[in-house]
Amino acid sequence: MKTLFKIIIIFLFISALSTVLMKFFNVHYDDVNFWEVRGFFFLICIALFPRLTLLFSSVVFGGLFWWLGFFFAPRLLVAILATISYWNTNKVLVVISWLFAVGGETSEKYYIHRHTFRQKEPKPRVSSHRDVVDAEFYEIKDPPK
């Protein structure tokens, strides 16, 4: 139930933001249908490998903000480009792209932060004998003459 509530909230937020941008800031959204231009294979690739797909496909690119999004938050860049291109014709796909963007970027950053910045302390060796010293011995194959 929480997930459905989050999806509805994101959909309403994107709808309200798009309406405000179109009415007050004269932002133009394209009327292109996603399925006429792209296919299901592109959809899977852009969801799983956003940087590679953005780099090697015919997606519009360029500009400072595009490159910043490409390097630091590629899923958010995909969601923004999807909103600009397909909001009028494929609202469901745009909302799904925003869910992937918000969920993917958050989980990726959480995973990276948790596993790279936390130092693991070595476990101390516990020996049952107090006088025993752990050591490794190796054999010298050619003794010096």
Nearest to 29 by CA among 37, 20, 38: 20
**Domain residue spans in the chain?**
2-116
Query: CA-CA distance, 84 to 108, in Å (whole number)?
Result: 24
Convert the pLDDT of each residue in 5-63 to its tens digit. 877 887 888 888 888 888 888 877 788 889 988 899 999 999 889 999 988 887 777 78
Q: Are 40 and 97 in contact (CB under 8 A)?
A: no
Mean pLDDT of the chain: 79
Q: What confidence score (pLDDT) does residue 22 get?
A: 82
> Which has more confidence, 1 or 130?
1
What 8-state DSSP symbol labels residue 131? T
Query: CA-CA distance, 70 to 85, in Å (whole number)?
Result: 17
